[in-house]
Chain A
């Protein structure tokens, strides 16, 4: 079938509205705060070869990149002839999936008149996956929980009972984990139904032509955007907290006419901790950075990726090999898009922002709690928070914003309803936004107290907690303040598990964003407003 500007627009709009509807259903039926309050999931529609056609508007960038890849892996293990209507495939394999075990990817083949036409895919962060808590100090993937191989979790409409029994036995909150899987199945089912009615209505036998056309046009648009970047080789390196000592990431970006090649040679080797990033995640987040600067408005699909080559040495921390652990891979992976943005800062100063106070932060707790019938039950909670945004050539950075992920915080009232944590304060951190002509956004600080009668096991995701890893400024702007984790008021190592006694406190302080331009150029009124509103204490003002 041939498409023109009108027919393609209408059909594509329709497909996007299908995945958006599926995403809404997934959120509304899920059982975990991670999905519903924090949007840690994605819905993607692909053609029969696993090539992406549409993804939910609100989906997380990493997942948009990984789901089509995972579906291609499904197809390798389960070739077309082995698939039947009503099947659902599943895995959480970190190298085939998103890079850490809690993300469970599912896909349902869509059949039209007995012919495979596409896949409804989704991935969602499970409330728990067993194993150690999600912290940075797991040494191998085997410590991180249950690994689900690529398999048919639903065969012709019937759930594999053995699978369910295995999962239930291995996770701390089996009802929530199974409930969220059902939410994913609901979303897939909905996508399947809607896609079939579109195909029938438009008298289409395949989605492949549509995928070709979408990818062809997306690729052309991306190539046109790359042409705006001056040819050259751009280098950038970033320092991450690491453990005993910082870890360095190195990037070389070569822009030649209509193509970009990004290579991470020189980056640190993978480590026996859980911050290793698999290549799929590296590709997803690196290309996210390219897109955010060059073509924020082009829908993300593999057409967009074609002009971009992303490579990393095997066995490096951004292309890990088994059995490397990856539970906290966001701590490394979230640096990647920022590296791309910063590398392009000199070439395109009006299209970039100073370093953002990312990666995302989170607190993960587990323990035992008595229910109304005085039975001891395991529970686990996961709450996210974010740092300040980087300033740009014409504006201050937002005070606290999720980036590059898009994970919402959980309301304090929900935290206190759901967990034994009592929140003493949650507020913006004064003086943490990097100074500059435009100020970086401030970070935030949250003080928790353990109100349980029992100790809690707590792990964190926390980054940029050293002076040398503070979010840097650009064009003369200063760095934002690094973050910190405090237990009972003392600096604690955020990369290991802690046992928190009843009555003890935990304080998380997220980093502020970098500033843009020299602080001496800051507008006098803006500086005065900052002082009045306490974003800046104004102790020293030049």
Chain B
């Protein structure tokens, strides 16, 4: 590649997870990347980051001044919500409605459990106060805001030590005037108070969900504010001139000021980076429709990549009482990469339930005591124990030799379970392996089907320590015939940061029937959102960068209560656009639900705009081995071949030695430091120039 003289140009990615902080650098001149893992320093997360950057830059001889881009993702805010470590928060609602946050929607997430734990509201009742005001559903003002009464309530919150508060008035999605007035009055008297408005954080109908989102935003806002400022100055202190960008939950980047404005958008930034990495590595093997499957120690995460981009959802739950149980958490209405998390990981515990059925997960042995084979006192049989008994893991090389595992302990842990279910230890181990695979496949099947797709049309991209171990079996259960294993799966998520486009989403509720629509107002509403989103993007990317604006809308038949998010043709819209908008809706409806009912008019509830711009540049080159199939052969190992129901002596290959273009036939095992790829009979794995291993099943 011919570039300037001796110019250097680096992009820096920082991904703070619960355990590790990943630092990754992309060399835009040579197209290479390097990475470093540092232990996360939870009390002062920036320390781990700075230490990690120092170590990596020193090792690679990188100068801070040559960094042209910094992108950051963190689980800090999710953890603050889960651990309830946000700031004491106040809430002011329309008079008569302070209990919205606690009344929730009144339903149970477990039907038969008399002892169900409900999520505690983030704001206790004595800190939920009310102000006289009322907006009508159509946005007209019924009762003006009583500013004096409001300020009296704010004074009460202040004296209770509150530094951050949410304001959530009824129908504020239809008219934000009172919320804006309230904030202005509060800031005039208390400029230091953080104020979050429901009309800015989540301007959508349904007061509980909107209030819940706004309160969560208020709850993490002081933390986000000080953390982001600190991180910005620490990075600048290193001599890095480039601005700091944050990864949003929707997989887009934005600048610090936008991140500080509505920090709840950062909630899922870590997992979003992982899904983006999935789409990027999929595209490198020309797979545009990908099921990104990341299996770790405790959970597996699934994301759908459709036509090269991860699917976006517009609501999710944070801080669930029961981690994997829908309805047990706090609803958060933000745009976020759609991820499903299931309790299926290496540490997932196998049990026989009251019906004599083999259950795996969601309980996990975690890192301590860990699977029985870790020799740390764990006695419950786990997925990792099963994989060891089946010969899929090598005790000598497991986790690069950093964890000592013992096969006899694994067998001993599985033995009681095998006895109870009248199976041999090997059959029980295969049972555990199969059940956890079916759990993951079942979740994926429903997830994919709900969006009107067939899993079989997707490629499965397997990452995480458990992804390649289970990937081919999960794929087979889903009817998927292509499995992709990207290189350096361990830091793939941090690499994803560097591939991310800048992206800003905006939403507004319009709630109009198409037959009665004022098209001029409708178009104006879109333009307003586009201007807002465009302005934020403009601060993130250079002037020359092309900004793409995509319109979509939440649409339904009149009378329905759930909307489909429909991608719309570009504007501007006039009366003549009606047919195209209708067609876009019925097409998605038919695809999602199988048929379109012969009833009803269509209404548009919310409109959405996504502005995005590509900021990543350059091609990523990946180091590869030089050896053929026989040269990469490390040895042979007895491993269970499920399709044949027996142990066989399988060849074991070293992934780092395999040269581009080499093909390996299953049944076989391909090992690398952080994971092992199990190839079933008839599978054919090829090392691609992209660095991916692609398995044809």
Chain A positions within 8 Å of B, measured between CB atoms, are 4-6, 8-10, 12-14, 17, 20-21, 24-25, 27-33, 36-37, 39, 57-59, 61, 175-176, 178-179, 182-183, 186, 189-190, 194, 217-218, 220-221, 224-225, 288, 291-293, 295-300, 341, 351-353, 372, 384-386, 392, 395, 398-403, 406-409, 411-414, 416-417, 423-428, 444, 447, 532-535
The answer to whether B559 touches A32 (Cβ under 8 A) is: yes
11 A-B interface contacts by CB (under 8 A): A9-B358, A24-B450, A28-B564, A29-B560, A37-B105, A179-B600, A400-B106, A413-B207, A427-B98, A533-B125, A534-B126
Known: A5-B358, A6-B431, A29-B597. A427 touches B97 (CB 8 A): yes
Output the least CB separation between A472 and chain B (Å): 16
Complex Cα spacing A472 to B100, Å: 27
Residue of B nearest to A447 (CB): B96
Interface 0/1 of B562-598, CB less than 8 Å to A: 1010000000000000000000000000001111011
Complex Cα spacing A528 to B560, Å: 45
Contact of A426 among B100, B513, B600 (CB under 8 A): B100
Additional pairs, 19, CB under 8 Å, beyond known A6-B427, A417-B205: A4-B422, A6-B431, A9-B359, A9-B438, A14-B442, A21-B446, A24-B446, A29-B593, A31-B599, A36-B561, A61-B111, A175-B600, A179-B559, A217-B355, A400-B102, A406-B108, A413-B170, A413-B171, A425-B97
Residue of B nearest to A292 (CB): B112
Interface 0/1 of B338-360, CB less than 8 Å to A: 00000000000000111111110
Contact of B171 among A186, A194, A416, A533 (CB under 8 A): A416
Chain A CB within 10 Å — which of B124, B354, B421, B443 has the most? B354
Is B137 interfacial (CB-CB < 8 Å)? Answer: yes
Contact of A400 among B103, B207, B597 (CB under 8 A): B103
Complex Cα spacing A14 to B95, Å: 48
Contact of A8 among B100, B208, B357 (CB under 8 A): B357
Complex Cα spacing A36 to B561, Å: 6
The answer to whether B106 touches A413 (Cβ under 8 A) is: no
The answer to whether A190 touches B594 (Cβ under 8 A) is: yes
The answer to whether B434 touches A6 (Cβ under 8 A) is: yes
Which residues of A sit under 8 angstroms from B96, Cβ to Cβ? Answer: 423-427, 447
Is B118 interfacial (CB-CB < 8 Å)? Answer: yes
Which residues of A sit under 8 angstroms from B107, Cβ to Cβ? Answer: 39, 401-402, 406-408
Output the least CB separation between B548 and chain A (Å): 29
- Contact residues of B between 387 and 423, Cβ < 8 Å to A: 420-423
Which 10 A-B pairs have CB atoms at the shortest separation, nearest pair first? A425-B96, A6-B431, A5-B421, A533-B125, A296-B112, A36-B561, A31-B559, A182-B597, A5-B358, A217-B355
Which residues of A sit under 8 angstroms from B443, Cβ to Cβ? Answer: 17
The answer to whether B106 touches A217 (Cβ under 8 A) is: no
The answer to whether B206 touches A414 (Cβ under 8 A) is: yes
Is B557 interfacial (CB-CB < 8 Å)? Answer: yes
Residue of A nearest to B515 (CB): A372
The answer to whether A426 touches B97 (Cβ under 8 A) is: yes
Is B435 interfacial (CB-CB < 8 Å)? Answer: yes
Which residues of A sit under 8 angstroms from B445, Cβ to Cβ? Answer: 17
Complex Cα spacing A225 to B112, Å: 15
The answer to whether B594 touches A178 (Cβ under 8 A) is: no
Residue of B nearest to A14 (CB): B442
Known: A5-B356, A298-B355. A28 touches B562 (CB 8 A): yes
Which residues of A sit under 8 angstroms from B545, Cβ to Cβ? Answer: none
Output the least CB separation between B326 and chain A (Å): 8
Contact of A10 among B99, B124, B434 (CB under 8 A): B434
Which residues of A sit under 8 angstroms from B99, Cβ to Cβ? Answer: 426-428, 444
Known: A21-B446, A295-B354, A416-B171. A179 touches B597 (CB 8 A): yes
The answer to whether B357 touches A27 (Cβ under 8 A) is: no
Output the least CB separation between B204 and chain A (Å): 10
Is B113 interfacial (CB-CB < 8 Å)? Answer: yes
Contact of A425 among B95, B423, B513, B600 (CB under 8 A): B95
The answer to whether A186 touches B446 (Cβ under 8 A) is: no
Residue of A nearest to B96 (CB): A425
Which residues of A sit under 8 angstroms from B562, Cβ to Cβ? Answer: 27-28, 36
The answer to whether A414 touches B205 (Cβ under 8 A) is: yes
Sort chain B's interface into a size bin: 35 or more
Complex Cα spacing A510 to B431, Å: 50
Which residues of B sit under 8 angstroms from A61, Cβ to Cβ? Answer: 111-112
Which residues of B sit under 8 angstroms from A225, Cβ to Cβ? Answer: 354
Residue of A nearest to B105 (CB): A408
Output the least CB separation between B563 and chain A (Å): 9
Output the least CB separation between B553 and chain A (Å): 16
Contact of A21 among B108, B110, B423, B450 (CB under 8 A): B450
The answer to whether A186 touches B559 (Cβ under 8 A) is: no
Complex Cα spacing A407 to B438, Å: 31
Complex Cα spacing A14 to B449, Å: 13
Known: A296-B114, A395-B115. A408 touches B356 (CB 8 A): no
Output the least CB separation between B360 and chain A (Å): 9
Complex Cα spacing A351 to B125, Å: 29
The answer to whether A402 touches B559 (Cβ under 8 A) is: no
Which residues of B sit under 8 angstroms from A298, Cβ to Cβ? Answer: 354-355
Which residues of A sit under 8 angstroms from B110, Cβ to Cβ? Answer: 296
Known: A14-B442, A36-B560, A297-B353. A392 touches B114 (CB 8 A): yes
Chain B CB within 10 Å — which of A29, A288, A296, A372 has the most? A29
Chain A CB within 10 Å — which of B99, B136, B439 has the most? B99
Output the least CB separation between B361 and chain A (Å): 12
Is B58 interfacial (CB-CB < 8 Å)? Answer: no
The answer to whether A352 touches B114 (Cβ under 8 A) is: yes
The answer to whether B560 touches A532 (Cβ under 8 A) is: no
Known: A353-B114, A413-B205, A413-B206. A5 touches B597 (CB 8 A): no
Contact of B355 among A182, A221, A416, A426 (CB under 8 A): A221
The answer to whether B421 touches A408 (Cβ under 8 A) is: no
Known: A385-B106, A413-B137. A25 touches B114 (CB 8 A): no
Is B516 interfacial (CB-CB < 8 Å)? Answer: yes
The answer to whether A30 touches B171 (Cβ under 8 A) is: no
Which residues of A sit under 8 angstroms from B599, Cβ to Cβ? Answer: 31, 175, 178-179, 182
Complex Cα spacing A409 to B593, Å: 26
Output the least CB separation between A349 and chain B (Å): 13
Complex Cα spacing A402 to B106, Å: 6
Contact of A414 among B106, B116, B434, B561 (CB under 8 A): B561
Which residues of B sit under 8 angstroms from A29, Cβ to Cβ? Answer: 560, 593, 597
Complex Cα spacing A386 to B443, Å: 32
Which residues of B sit under 8 angstroms from A352, Cβ to Cβ? Answer: 114
The answer to whether A535 touches B205 (Cβ under 8 A) is: no
Output the least CB separation between B91 and chain A (Å): 13
Contact of A532 among B126, B438, B446 (CB under 8 A): B126
Contact of A444 among B103, B354, B428, B561 (CB under 8 A): B103
Known: A402-B106, A413-B205. A13 touches B438 (CB 8 A): yes
- Contact residues of B between 118 and 162, Cβ < 8 Å to A: 118, 124-126, 136-137
Which residues of A sit under 8 angstroms from B311, Cβ to Cβ? Answer: none
Output the least CB separation between A23 and chain B (Å): 11
The answer to whether A411 touches B356 (Cβ under 8 A) is: no
Which residues of B sit under 8 angstroms from A21, Cβ to Cβ? Answer: 446, 449-450
Which residues of A sit under 8 angstroms from B423, Cβ to Cβ? Answer: 4-6
Complex Cα spacing A292 to B112, Å: 5
Which residues of B sit under 8 angstroms from A176, Cβ to Cβ? Answer: 559
Is B511 interfacial (CB-CB < 8 Å)? Answer: yes
Output the least CB separation between A13 and chain B (Å): 6
Which residues of B sit under 8 angstroms from A417, Cβ to Cβ? Answer: 137, 205, 511
Complex Cα spacing A350 to B6, Å: 75
Which residues of A sit under 8 angstroms from B592, Cβ to Cβ? Answer: 28
Residue of B nearest to A38 (CB): B107
The answer to whether B435 touches A10 (Cβ under 8 A) is: yes
Contact of A398 among B118, B137, B435, B557 (CB under 8 A): B118
The answer to whether B103 touches A426 (Cβ under 8 A) is: yes
Residue of B nearest to A424 (CB): B96
Output the least CB separation between A30 and chain B (Å): 7
Which residues of A sit under 8 angstroms from B511, Cβ to Cβ? Answer: 417
